[in-house]
Amino acid sequence: MSAKNVLVTGASSGLGDQFCRTLAANGYTVIAAARRKDRLESLYNDISEAGGVAHPLAMDVSDVENFAIALDEAEAMAGPITCLINNAGTSVSKFATDMTPEDFDAVMGLNLRGPYFLSTELARRWIARDTGGRIVNIGSLSDSRAMPGHTVYGTSKAAIARLTQQMAREWINKGINVNALAPGYIRTELNAPYFDSPNGQAVIAQFPRRRVGEPADLDKAILYLCDPDQRFLTGQVLHLDDGQGL
């Protein structure tokens, strides 16, 4: 793998936006995928002004039937993809008894079904080309810590941890390393109002260090997990949570 072309889903905000900026600043050509084109254009402009290389890609991770077309488009723009970050994710914050089948499918569809079929579509290409590749799944501390109101979300992230191990094992002799990064609470534009509220402050007060992370706290880890020279780590879930789960 001489090229470093990374596809990041959920690139239009939060952690995905930060991953794109960090990877572009470290020599990666970034394909930034999400549904909101205006946000991707703005990210593209920022990365270009900073001297990096990025390509915006309009893509819906719940639309698995169109993954092959989306990857063809990405590879036409950037060349062969060498790394995938399955970052797009969502949660419906309801107690288990209140979740509808539609809520369930929305969370599992984006958090599990999408990453599954995007990974397999790309792995088939890597196996056919005999190039290997890197997959980084974005999990969560809630893969192993039960949180009321997040039963389906936590279940989807536990499944991502297992998926990481299974795919790593299946592709272990194909040069494909599959790992997961499972963050604790990180302040992003969507959850900042919650963390600034009395309820959010009460949650933060329970953490050992009484703080939440910033997206940049994941920079070093994402660079390590994407690194094509990192050949010895596969099938692992790195919990990067500031001890919030202790």
Ligand X SMILES: NC(=O)c1ccc[n+]([C@@H]2O[C@H](COP(=O)([O-])OP(=O)(O)OC[C@H]3O[C@@H](n4cnc5c(N)ncnc54)[C@H](OP(=O)(O)O)[C@@H]3O)[C@@H](O)[C@H]2O)c1
**Positions in the binding site for ligand X (CB under 6 A):** 9-16, 34-36, 39, 59-62, 87-90, 110, 138, 140, 183, 185-186, 188, 190-191
Range list of β-strands (E), the chain: 5-9, 29-34, 53-58, 83-86, 133-138, 176-183, 237-240
Report how far apart, in Å, the C-alpha atoms of 93 and of each of 96, 137, 200 are: 9, 22, 14
Is 122 or 131 the residue whose CB approaches ligand X more closely? 122
Task: Please state the closest distance from residue 141 (CB atom) to ligand X, in A.
Answer: 6
237-240 sheet: strands from edge to edge = 53-58, 29-34, 5-9, 83-86, 133-138, 176-183, 237-240
Q: Active-site residue among 28, 44, 116, 153? A: 153
Is 10 or 52 the residue whose CB approaches ligand X more closely? 10
Task: Please state the closest distance from residue 34 (CB atom) to ligand X, in A.
Answer: 4
Q: What stretches of 81-208 show up as alpha helix (H) in DSSP?
A: 101-108, 114-129, 151-170, 192-196, 198-206
- Whose CA is closest to 137, among 84, 98, 190, 100? 84
Task: Please state the closest distance from residue 234 (CB atom) to ligand X, in A.
Answer: 20
Is 37 or 129 the residue whose CB approaches ligand X more closely? 37
Residue 208 forms beta bridges with which residues? none
Is 25 or 106 the residue whose CB approaches ligand X more closely? 106
- Whose CA is closest to 137, among 148, 152, 122? 122
Chain centroid to CA 216: 14
Task: Please state the closest distance from residue 140 (CB atom) to ligand X, in A.
Answer: 4
Cβ-contact 177, 233 below 8 angstroms: yes
Active site residue 28: no
Is 113 or 174 the residue whose CB approaches ligand X more closely? 113
Tell me the catalytic residues: 153
